[in-house]
Amino acid sequence: MSDIKKVVLAYSGGLDTSVIVRWLQDTYNCEVVTFTADIGQGEEVEPAREKAKALGVKEIYIEDLREEYVRDYVFPMFRANTIYEGEYLLGTSIARPLIARRLIEIANETGADAISHGATGKGNDQVRFELGAYALKPGVKVIAPWREWDLNSREKLMAYCDERNIPVEKKKGKSPYSMDANLLHISYEGINLEDPWAEAEDDMWRWSVSPEAAPDQPTYIEVTYEKGDIVAIDGQAMKPHEVLEHLNKVGGDNGIGRIDIVENRYVGMKSRGCYETPGGTIMLRAHRAIESITLDREVAHLKDNIMPRYAEVIYNGYWWSPEREALQALIDKTQEYVNGTVRLKLYKGNVDVVGRKSEDSLFDEKIATFEEDEGAYDQKDAEGFIKLNALRLRIAAGKGRKL
């Protein structure tokens, strides 16, 4: 007999997690608690309540976490200008630590013996959920059905539903892709995308128009920063999740944020996926622009040096780790004077910076000017600077060393 009496499941209300509810009940003879998070996936989450009730679930958690998600996870990540392997803005990765944390908190609140999730045994999400869970509750039991059962196809899942009278929607015309969405992005995998040579179908994309179909006139916006975070757009103060919602809309309308990449998963395989991240694409460009005038050179270069490491930490699932907290402390310290406003031009898939200003700007027009600087900079000083920096090169060349 199983020693698992109660399990908290990350529950979407879709096919996979609906099957998991019944499978947990059948396999472990346990009570299931469902947790559904609204992190801006663009679909109603409340229907999950009735679906869970129909499966005999008595404890149902449905929570609006949009504000917390952007404020405490997305914004801290963007302070570092984080991007994985030069392209991926980590839209799925950054959502997992919040869900893992709430799974553990709910397990503690309800006295559950275990947590469960619907991530497959091939992907990164299983790692992210479980690393977070173990960091927050070392002795927690994790049940990952995809690593235990033999229901390894949609047909088998549907047959399981029919056999056990599990209510699931069988919508015609539903997207065939495996998709994951939250306020930062929407991802697409599977079907023809499994061939790296096949072009994604244009009607696959949900959040953006194609650059070709975007308006023929550019859209200008101004984003205002305080300590590295956007606090207003076009002079209107906004909460973090409102910022991202607004940027997703204006970015999507202008064909911004589509990428098609092959990435290296932490579990070892390469995976091809398409992502729409309109708001995040704008945020990254704007943040680098405001840092360009407010950050000291060496601090900016240090951030660029550590960013790939920070990106790997998040991508691989180590948000709840001492190395991430240490990196975050350094990153957050750099943002003290990252204040000001950036003006952007959005046009047919492009984000162009056309202006930046700040009371904390380190850009000195008197020194940088090509006109008369009235003695602000003595150009003769450059001679000694160059000779000192060339000293090691001159010594080596004098010894006859060849490059």
**125 a catalytic residue:** yes
Residue 1: the pLDDT is 47
Q: Which of 79, 101, 116, 125 is labelled catalytic?
A: 125
Residue 278: the pLDDT is 98
- Of the CATH numbers 3.90.230.10, 3.40.350.10, 3.30.200.20, 3.90.1260.10, which one belongs to the domain with range 178-295+337-357? 3.90.1260.10
Region(s) of the chain under CATH 3.90.1260.10:
178-295+337-357
Instruction: Find, among 18, 13, 90, the residue nearest to 313 by Cα.
Output: 90
Q: Which tokens is 316 given?
A: 């691989």
What lies within 8 Å, CB to CB, of 315 at 6+ separation is: 84, 88, 90, 93, 124, 266
> What is the pTM for the complete model shown?
0.95
What lies within 8 Å, CB to CB, of 283 at 6+ separation is: 78, 223, 230, 244, 247
- Of the CATH numbers 3.40.50.620, 1.10.150.120, 3.40.50.720, 2.60.40.1840, which one belongs to the domain with range 6-72+86-164? 3.40.50.620
- In b/e form, how buried is each residue of 228-245, taking b as 16+ CB within 10 angstroms? bbbeebeeeebebbbbbb
Q: Which of 96, 101, 272, 285 is labelled catalytic?
A: 96
Residue 174: the pLDDT is 57
Residue 284: the pLDDT is 98
Residue 255: the pLDDT is 98
Residue 129: the pLDDT is 98
Name 8's bridge partners.
33, 115
Cα(9)–Cα(129) distance, integer angstroms: 12
Residue 170: the pLDDT is 61
Mode of pairing for the β-strands spanning 229-233 and 219-226: antiparallel
What lies within 8 Å, CB to CB, of 295 at 6+ separation is: 303, 334, 337, 338, 362
Region(s) of the chain under CATH 3.40.50.620:
6-72+86-164
**321 a catalytic residue:** no
Mean pLDDT of the chain: 95
Q: Can you tell me whether residue 276 is helix, strand or coil?
A: strand
Residue 171: the pLDDT is 52
- Asked whether 223 and 133 are in contact (CB, 8 A), the reply is no
Cα(188)–Cα(228) distance, integer angstroms: 30
- Asked whether 336 and 227 are in contact (CB, 8 A), the reply is yes
The secondary structure of residue 225, as a DSSP letter, is: E
Residue ranges in the chain whose pLDDT is less than 50: 1
What lies within 8 Å, CB to CB, of 334 at 6+ separation is: 79, 228, 295, 299, 302, 303
Q: Which of 12, 16, 187, 285 is labelled catalytic?
A: 16
- Asked whether 92 and 187 are in contact (CB, 8 A), the reply is yes
Residue 374: the pLDDT is 87
Q: Which of 49, 71, 72, 178 is labelled catalytic?
A: 178
- DSSP codes, 126-140: HHHHHHHHHHH-TT-
- Asked whether 97 and 128 are in contact (CB, 8 A), the reply is yes
Q: Can you tell me whether residue 76 is helix, strand or coil?
A: helix
Phi, psi of 275 (to 5 degrees): -135, 145
